[in-house]
Amino acid sequence: MDNPRLHPKFISSFKLLGKPWTWLIICVVLTGKRRFSDISATIPRISDKMLVARLKELETAGIMERHVYPETPLRVEYELTEKGRDLKTVIDQVQQWANTWLEDLRFVR
Amino acid sequence: MDNPRLHPKFISSFKLLGKPWTWLIICVVLTGKRRFSDISATIPRISDKMLVARLKELETAGIMERHVYPETPLRVEYELTEKGRDLKTVIDQVQQWANTWLEDLRFVR
DNA sequence: CCGCATCCCGCACGATACTG
DNA sequence: CAGTATCGTGCGGGATGCGG
């Protein structure tokens, strides 16, 4: 049996989606615009530095949009593009798989 | 609007599936039993060390099975469990998303 | 205060060589 | 062939600083 080829697009998508936190960030913003501090508070133990880095990557990839409102205090909101919202189908599948196969190990490392 | 809660099972699954190479490894073994060297050759630039580490993790998680045939030369084959094969739906969704939205950027970093 | 940059440090990761 | 051992390096985590 021949080995399968890994499609370049598939490899590319995991260079982005395979990184830590990325999925959780998308999952949080999936339900609507979120402020930086909202995302930070919703995802346990993510550092500001990582959150900034991942958000920038997602923005560059055309998955996330960044809106700045120059108020005081400064307000920045993040929103998924259509490309990003299309990832909901993927996330739904992961959720379903997790519900089927994973015990509720709340504190796994 | 309230922030969504991140379901513990979803967070748990990300701890495994969010690691580098994991998805590509699953993708390779998805089509049938594979030897260590097959997986290594199919995935570009993965180190033996990482491949061993990820395979062990997947085995511990009940996603991958390891079969040893004590021949000479030694033959070891890896195979997905039902739990692992169920991830095909997720991978199919990612493939579809990639086909829709990604340019064929073969050499993106 | 909020969003983000900078600094330092430890650990995961990468490359290479070696073993049963 | 299927892994181990070893050594460097770069990325991620945590604390702190800083502009607006």
User: Do the Cβ atoms of B80 and B67 come closer than 8 Å?
Assistant: no
CA–CA gap between residue A86 and residue A90 (Å, rounded): 8
pLDDT tier for residue A107 given thresholds of 50, 70 and 90: very low
Q: Is B37 on the interface with A (CB under 8 A)?
A: no
pLDDT tier for residue B69 given thresholds of 50, 70 and 90: very high
pTM here is 0.91
CA–CA gap between residue B27 and residue B21 (Å, rounded): 10
Chain B positions touching A31 (Cβ under 8 A) are 1, 4
CB contact under 8 A, B18 and A15: no
Res. A106: pLDDT tops 90: no
Tens-place pLDDT, residues A36-85: 999 999 998 999 999 999 999 999 999 999 999 999 899 999 999 999 99
Domain boundaries, chain A: 4-104
Q: Beta carbon of B98 within 7 Å of strand D?
A: no
pLDDT tier for residue A4 given thresholds of 50, 70 and 90: confident
Closest approach of B2 to chain A, Cα-based (Å): 10
β-pair partners for B78: B34, B66
Matching CATH number, B4-104, of 3.40.50.970, 1.10.10.10, 1.20.59.10, 3.40.50.300: 1.10.10.10
Tens-place pLDDT, residues A11-26: 989 888 888 899 999 9
